[in-house]
Structures are given as structure tokens and as C-alpha cells.
């Protein structure tokens, strides 16, 4: 397997460096890919696993599956086998050229990629545990430590004062955390602006000048970085980590004697992709794994799109994850990128290894346009302050946009924002009158445009949220209407059991519960004929006439009233009914569905309480358990009514609901077959009129709404 050729230790970036040295203007450069195969681990050897990878040349990796499967060859800039030392990897990967380019103002990134346990962290920082008391032997230090030495050597050689600072962050469960900040972890926002592209707000950057200082920063971050043990790696990184060195360097070229370059050298240790079935991750580990896999998927998606020149010009979904946002410049922007793909040689890891190899093959076709950071002169005095002010104003505007407001106030707010922007622009313009006005105007105007852009995006987001809230609201409205219809329908059909007090009416009619509790409701028309639908904006409605119930009415009748009422022939005692949920109707007194309270325990304990189901979680509006229970109750009652052959007595007064599939009785959520208590569908005794049919469809529709 071992094909060792010292030629390839020149590294892939040598050509790039030379070309960039000759050609100053923007040129297209592919991502450099180096493949590192780690040696078989002790555990793999103990399990008797076989190696399936062979280096058949300095740039070729041969995959020979066990059992005579088809052999596949992959070609990369450099292929480093398991026998390569850390120093050989440093020489072979060409990282030192990245250091040189960063010193010249380019934005350079080296990132490791591969399956969990394939040696990414080992390649970048050496063997674990890192950051503990035990230092890593110099022969085992990784690309990062070696690059620090290289950088500081070169800085000394340059002779001009160069400012170096470092930042270290991790993306853990899609949250950005500063690894150089003391105290509890705060989640930092990722923002975008035209000059910097995507950046992490409030990320700490620490200045350093010596190797000890930068090593200390690295160890400090490694100590804070999240890692855990799983079946494939006892010290598995659970986050993506980005260590960035910012290099501010005066330009030595005589043509730009007073200018500075802002180079960047970034090391990215990606968390490894993992199959939870193999790593046996559970609980928190599983959550971490799914976040890791999701962000790697987003990275892979961006890489695939970047391969298509047409797509590249359009839209690359960098915003899909924090990782892709922060790597946007390295992948498709003006950076220079080196990818070290790490693989395990074991046959057991072959599927994941093939994934990594395909991923890396694609990545090396992606090109960037390396451009040194535009040299800038010193900032005019006072502008920093102004920029700070503008930032504060921007923050204030954002906060205002985030406040929950109704439609009208949204519009007013929008108008206010626009006015403030005009003011801001005017203020910015007036501030910039003076000797440095040219520079200031350009920059301030640019910043204002950025703020406006960002605020515009926030507004759009807000509007979108508002729209989806309205949709949910409308849907609830429809459900409320249906529930009303069905309530009426049920109470009509169970007229045999609800009778009006004989002293009020000569013929038996329906008894309105509110008439029992409150004298003023006794005169309501619902005692004589079935009333039209109540259109009032109320919360608690009478079961029959939908008139608003006073607080003591309905299920809250006093003991005495209940006793009195229960003596009346056909009175339906309130405790027989599940608690009628408050009906929330769109209007001034309306409560939004997302502000509804928790369903009462009484309702939750009902045998027909809403069963949990994954589809409910996906539903835009969660129906309250009490509503569900009540609807279920109605559906059951109606079904029983129809099944017992008494459907002929039903006189629905409401227009038929939209017809569902005929002959397909609905069923509660989660049930595969028709509910047993419904029994075998009975042949209908006699379909007296189209109204009858409407009634059946209503019942079906009710069941359908419960699914
Ligand atoms: N080239 C190598 N030589 C010797 N040991 C290695 C090599 N590469 C990796 N290892 C060992 O393999 C184990 C896993 O390596 P490492 O932690 O770097 O994997 P990883 O890809 O970073 O995993 P994860 O994604 O889970 O963090 C470690 O114990 C490490 O010391």
C-alpha cells in the first residue's frame, strides 16, 4: 500500500502561489484537496477488520471492496497514506503556502472533513486529549501549531510591524459560541454586510505576538470545545470549530507604500458525519449528531450547486446553516481554500469513506476568485463614532420591528422606519461635509444601504409570519363554524332527550341551558324553533341558540338550578357533557389560538382526549384538547344516532357541508380501522330527503376534521 514519493510533499498550493505571485488580478482557483488515510486503529485491528484503501500513486487512491467488488480509483491533489507523519502531512498539504498568501492579504481557509473518528482533529491539532495538562509531543502537533510557527517566522522575516489577532468559535447545535470568552456561553449572531460578508457579531479577537500566546489561545479554546465519547471515537468533537488568525500587514510594495492588507488564515475542524445506528448515539449525542449531519448536508448542497456555473451565478443557499454562512467566502467567494479529507481504511467504514471521497472529488471542482482584501487608508477621525451611532440606530429599528403589532400598527411602524431611514440618510450626508467627505460619503452611504437592506429583510420576515398567522386564524374560523353547525345538529337530533319546561311551552321543544340559569335568556327564540346561527363575537356560547352565556350559565349552573333543571323531562345534565370549549372568534374580544390556555385537566382525562400524533405537530394550528374532545363527543353521538336508525328524525337546518368521499365513514386519529363501537355499517333504513344525506356528510366531515 505504501507508495511514498517525496515529490508530492511540495504540496498542491505551490502552483497556486506561484501563479498568484505572477498574476495580481483576480483569477479563478479550484479548492485544493488533500486526502489523508489514517492508519488502522488498535480497536479495528483487534476486531480483525481489513483495509480496503490503497495508494496507487502520489495522487491516486484505489478502493478495493472485500469479496471482489468493483475497484474504484479517486484522484486528488495529494494522497497521504497512513504511514505519513504529522510533519509530512504539513509539508505535503501545502499549508505553509496558505500562510504566505494570508500574509499577502488573501483570505485563506484550511478545513478537515470526513467521517467521525477518521482523524480530522488529529490532523489539525494532534492526538487527544488536547487542552489538558499533558502537552502534545512536538512530533505529533498538527497543522495548526506548525502553521503558527511558520507564520511567526515569516512575520519576523518581513521586518515591518504586523498586527496579529486570533478568534476561536464553535458551532454547537446550530449555535455560535465564543471559545475565547470566559464565563457562561452566549450565543452569538451571524450577520452579513457588504464589506465583511458573513461575520459573527461580538466575537472576541485577541491580539498575540508570540508562539506561546497563540498556543495558549488554541488550548483555551480546545478546553472549552464540546466533545463526547461514542462507539467510533472516545474523544469525538461535537461541534464545528473555526480558529481564525487576522493579519493586518502594511504593504511592502512601493506602489502601495501607505496601504495595509487584511489577510486571514482560518482553520476549520468540522465535526464528523456519523450514522447514529453505528455510533449508538442516544439523547443529547443524537441531537448533536443530527445537527452535525444537517449542517454537513447543507455544506454538501452548497458545494453541489457551486459546481454548476449557472447556479453559481444565481443563488447558493449559504443561509441554510451557520456553517455554510461562515464558509461562504471560502467556498464560492474570494478566498483560497484547502480541504483535507480524512478517511479510515477499514472495510467497516467503507460506505462512509466512499461518501467522503465523492464529496471531496466534487469539492475540488469548485472554484473561487482569490482577491486580497481591498487595501484601505486610515479611517477619517470621528467616523468610527458615527458608525457606532448608526449601528445603535439600526439595532433600535430592529427591536421596534420585533415588537408584536397588529396590521395597522405594522404599517405605521413601516412608515416610521422609512422616515427614520430618510432622516438617517440625510444626517449621514450632512455629517460627511468636510475634508474627508469623499471617503465618508461612500462608506456611510454604503452602510446605510446595508442597514436598509437588512431592515427590509426583517420586515419581509415579519410580514411572512403575519401572513401565516392569518392563515392559521382563518382555518380556526372554519373549524369554529363547523363546530357550531355540528353542535346545533346534535342538539336537534337529541331533541328526544331535551325538553322545554312545560310551564313555558305547551308542546315539547328544546331547552336552552341559559334559560335555566338566567331569566333574560328565557325569551330567546330558541325555545320555540331552531334559531338561526348566532353571529355574536362571544367566547362561551349557549349550546342551542349560541347566545353568549353569562359566567354562571351552561356547565356552570348553580347547584339549585341544576337540581331544578334536572327534574325537567329531558334535561341534559351539564356533567354529562364534556366541558364546552370557549369558542374563539375573530373580533375585538378574540383570543389568538397561540394565546389559548392549557386545556383543563378534566378534559385531558377524558377517555376521548386527543391522542398525540406526529401529524398534529405539523399542523399549522394546534387544536386545543378540549375542542378536540368536544368535537369527538359530537361525532360519536351523531354516529350513534345514525347507526341506531334514528337518523330519519334528524332535521338539519344548516346547509350541507362540503361533501367528503361517500360511504367512507371517518375515524379518529390514529385508528386504522373503523371504531369498533360504530359496529358494522348498517344499511340506511330510509333516505327520506337530501337533508338526511347532508346530515350524514356532516358527521363524516366531523370525523374527517378529527383526523
Ligand atoms: N494519522 C493518525 N495516526 C495515528 N492515530 C490517529 C491518526 N488519525 C487519527 N488517529 C487517532 O484516531 C482517533 C480519532 O481521531 P480524531 O479524534 O482526530 O477523529 P475525528 O475525525 O476528529 O473524529 P470526530 O469527528 O468524532 O471528532 C484518535 O484517537 C486519534 O489519535
**Residue 664 reports pLDDT greater than 70:** no
Burial 644-659 (b: 16+ CB within 10 A, else e): eeebeebebebebbee
Q: Is the CB of 215 under 6 A from ligand 1?
A: no
What is the CB neighbour count within 10 angstroms for residue 323? 27
Q: Is the CB of 120 under 6 A from ligand 1?
A: yes
- Record the cell numbers describing residue 542, joined without a space: 349557549
Residue 693's pLDDT is 43
Ligand 1 center to 359 CA (angstroms): 20
The mean pLDDT of 397-418, rounded to a whole number, is 59
What does the DSSP 8-state code read for residue 54? Answer: E
pLDDT band at 512 (very low <50, low <70, confident <90, very high): very low
Q: Is the CB of 278 under 6 A from ligand 1?
A: no
The mean pLDDT of 224-249, rounded to a whole number, is 87
Q: Is the CB of 41 under 6 A from ligand 1?
A: yes
- The annotated binding site for ATP is made up of 114-121
* 638 or 584, higher pLDDT: 638
* 683 or 587, higher pLDDT: 683
* 552 or 113, higher pLDDT: 113
Share of the chain above pLDDT 90, in %: 26
CA angle at residue 41 from 38 to 47, to 5 degrees? 135
Q: Cell 499533558: give the residue.
A: 134
* 261 or 22, higher pLDDT: 261
Q: pLDDT digits over 120-176, tens only?
A: 999 999 987 665 667 788 899 999 999 999 999 999 888 788 999 999 999 999 999
Q: pLDDT digits over 16-72, tens only?
A: 555 554 554 457 889 999 999 999 999 889 989 999 998 888 899 999 888 777 889
Q: pLDDT digits over 416-458, tens only?
A: 556 655 665 555 555 544 444 555 555 566 667 777 777 777 7
Residue 11's pLDDT is 52
**Residue 613 reports pLDDT greater than 50:** no
Considering the domain 29-128+138-368, what is its CATH architecture? 3-Layer(aba) Sandwich (3.40)
Name which residue sits closest to atom 13 of ligand 1, judged by CA.
117
Ligand 1 center to 48 CA (angstroms): 19
**Residue 474 reports pLDDT greater than 60:** yes
Ligand 1 center to 92 CA (angstroms): 19
Ligand 1 center to 127 CA (angstroms): 7
Residue 450's Cβ-count burial label (10 Å; 0-12, 13-18, 19+) is middle
Nearest atom, ligand 1, residue 38 CA: 1
Nearest atom, ligand 1, residue 114 CA: 21
Q: Is the CB of 590 under 6 A from ligand 1?
A: no
**Residue 508 reports pLDDT greater than 80:** no
Name which residue sits closest to atom 2 of ligand 1, judged by CA.
38
* 540 or 610, higher pLDDT: 540
- The annotated binding site is made up of 114-121
Name 698's Cβ contacts closer than 8 Å, sequence gap at least 6: 485, 486, 489, 638, 652, 654, 656, 657
What is the best residue among 42, 51, 88, 122 to mutate for testing ligand 1's pocket, by most ligand atoms within 8 Å of CB? Answer: 122
Q: pLDDT digits over 544-571, tens only?
A: 555 555 544 444 444 444 444 333 333 3
Q: Is the CB of 345 under 6 A from ligand 1?
A: no
Ligand 1 center to 282 CA (angstroms): 22
The mean pLDDT of 350-364, rounded to a whole number, is 92
**Residue 350 reports pLDDT greater than 50:** yes
- State the ipTM, two decimals: 0.98
Q: Is the CB of 699 under 6 A from ligand 1?
A: no
Name 227's Cβ contacts closer than 8 Å, sequence gap at least 6: 128, 235, 236, 237, 238
Residue 278's pLDDT is 75
Residue of 563, 570, 522 lying closest to 542 (CA atoms): 522
Mean pLDDT of the chain: 70
Q: Is the CB of 626 under 6 A from ligand 1?
A: no
Ligand 1 center to 308 CA (angstroms): 34
pTM of the predicted model as reported, rounded to 2 decimal places: 0.57
Amino acid at each position: 500500500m505504501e507508495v511514498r514519493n517525496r515529490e508530492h510533499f511540495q504540496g498542491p498550493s505551490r502552483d497556486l502561489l506561484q501563479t498568484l505571485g505572477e498574476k495580481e488580478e483576480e483569477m479563478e482557483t479550484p479548492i485544493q484537496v488533500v486526502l489523508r488515510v489514517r492508519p488502522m486503529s488498535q480497536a479495528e485491528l483487534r476486531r480483525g477488520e481489513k483495509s480496503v484503501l490503497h495508494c496507487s500513486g502520489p495522487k491516486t487512491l484505489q478502493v478495493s471492496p472485500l469479496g471482489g467488488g468493483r475497484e474504484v480509483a479517486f484522484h486528488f491533489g495529494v494522497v497521504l497514506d497512513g504511514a505519513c507523519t504529522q510533519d509530512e502531512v504539513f509539508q505535503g498539504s501545502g499549508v505553509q503556502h496558505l500562510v504566505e498568501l494570508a500574509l499577502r492579504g488573501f483570505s485563506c481557509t484550511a478545513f478537515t472533513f470526513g467521517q467521525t473518528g477518521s482523524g480530522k482533529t488529529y490532523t489539525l491539532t494532534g492526538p487527544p486529549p488536547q487542552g489538558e495538562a499533558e502537552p502534545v509531543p512536538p512530533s505529533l502537533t498538527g497543522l495548526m501549531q506548525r502553521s503558527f510557527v511558520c507564520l511567526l517566522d515569516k512575520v519576523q522575516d518581513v521586518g515591518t510591524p504586523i498586527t496579529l489577532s486570533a478568534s476561536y468559535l464553535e458551532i454547537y447545535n446550530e449555535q455560535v459560541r465564543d471559545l475565547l470568552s470566559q464565563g457562561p456561553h452566549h450565543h452569538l449572531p451571524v450577520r452579513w454586510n457588504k464589506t465583511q460578508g458573513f461575520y459573527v457579531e461580538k466575537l472576541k479577537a485577541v491580539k498575540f505576538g508570540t508562539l506561546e500566546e497563540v498556543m495558549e489561545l488554541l488550548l483555551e479554546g480546545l478546553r472549552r470545545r464540546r466533545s463526547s465519547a461514542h462507539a467510533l471515537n472516545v474523544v469525538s468533537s461535537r461541534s464545528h470549530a473555526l480558529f481564525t488568525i487576522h493579519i493586518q500587514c502594511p504593504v511592502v510594495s512601493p506602489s502601495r507604500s501607505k496601504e495595509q492588507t487584511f489577510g486571514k488564515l482560518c482553520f476549520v475542524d468540522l465535526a464528523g458525519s456519523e450514522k447514529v445506528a453505528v455510533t449508538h448515539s442516544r439523547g443529547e449525542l443524537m441531537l448533536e449528531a443530527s445537527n452535525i449531519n444537517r449542517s454537513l448536508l447543507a455544506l454538501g448542497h452548497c458545494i453541489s450547486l457551486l459546481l454548476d456555473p449557472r447556479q453559481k451565478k444565481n443563488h447558493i443557499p449559504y443561509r441554510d446553516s451557520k456553517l455554510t454562512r461562515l464558509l461562504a467566502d471560502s467556498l464560492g467567494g474570494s478566498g483560497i481554500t484547502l480541504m483535507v479529507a480524512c478517511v479510515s481504511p477499514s472495510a467497516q467504514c467503507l460506505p462512509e469513506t466512499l461518501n467522503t471521497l465523492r464529496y471531496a472529488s466534487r469539492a475540488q471542482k469548485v472554484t473561487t476568485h482569490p482577491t486580497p482584501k481591498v487595501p484601505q487608508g486610515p479611517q477619517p477621525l470621528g467616523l468610527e463614532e458615527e458608525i457606532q451611532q448608526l449601528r445603535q440606530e439600526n439595532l433600535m429599528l430592529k427591536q421596534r420591528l420585533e415588537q408584536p403589532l397588529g396590521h395597522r400598527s405594522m404599517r405605521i411602524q413601516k412608515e416610521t422606519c422609512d422616515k427614520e431611514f430618510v432622516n438617517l440618510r440625510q444626517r449621514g450626508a450632512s455629517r460627511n461635509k468636510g475634508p474627508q467627505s469623499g471617503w465618508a460619503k461612500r462608506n456611510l452611504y454604503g452602510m446605510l444601504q446595508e442597514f436598509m437592506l437588512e431592515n427590509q429583510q426583517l420586515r419581509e420576515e415579519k410580514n411572512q409570519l403575519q401572513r401565516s398567522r392569518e392563515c392559521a386564524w382563518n382555518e380556526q374560523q372554519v373549524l369554529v363554524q363547523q363546530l357550531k353547525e355540528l353542535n346545533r345538529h346534535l342538539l336537534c337530533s337529541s331533541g328526544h332527550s331535551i325538553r322545554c319546561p312545560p310551564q313555558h311551552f305547551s308542546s315539547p321543544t328544546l331547552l336552552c341551558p341559559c334559560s335555566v340559569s338566567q331569566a333574560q335568556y328565557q325569551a330567546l327564540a330558541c325555545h320555540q324553533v331552531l334559531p338561526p346561527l348566532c353571529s355574536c363575537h362571544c367566547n362561551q356560547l349557549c349550546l342551542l341558540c349560541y347566545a353568549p352565556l353569562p359566567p354562571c350559565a351552561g356547565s356552570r349552573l348553580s347547584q339549585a338550578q341544576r337540581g331544578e333543571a334536572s327534574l325537567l323531562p329531558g334535561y341534559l345534565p351539564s356533567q354529562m357533557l364534556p366541558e364546552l370549549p370557549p369558542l374563539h372568534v375573530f373580533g375585538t374580544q378574540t383570543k389568538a389560538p397561540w394565546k389559548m390556555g392549557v386545556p383543563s385537566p378534566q378534559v385531558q382525562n377524558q377517555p376521548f382526549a386527543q391522542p398525540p400524533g406526529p401529524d398534529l405537530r405539523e399542523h399549522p394550528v394546534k387544536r386545543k384538547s378540549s375542542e378536540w374532545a368536544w368535537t369527538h363527543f359530537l361525532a360519536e353521538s351523531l354516529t350513534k344516532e345514525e347507526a341506531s336508525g334514528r337518523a330519519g328524525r334528524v332535521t338539519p337546518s344548516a346547509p350541507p357541508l362540503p361533501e367528503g368521499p361517500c360511504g367512507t365513514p371517518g375515524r379518529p386519529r390514529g385508528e386504522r380501522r373503523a371504531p369498533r363501537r360504530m359496529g358494522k355499517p348498517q344499511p340506511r333504513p330510509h333516505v327520506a330527503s337530501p337533508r338526511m344525506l347532508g346530515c350524514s356528510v356532516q358527521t363524516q366531515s366531523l370525523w374527517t376534521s378529527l383526523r
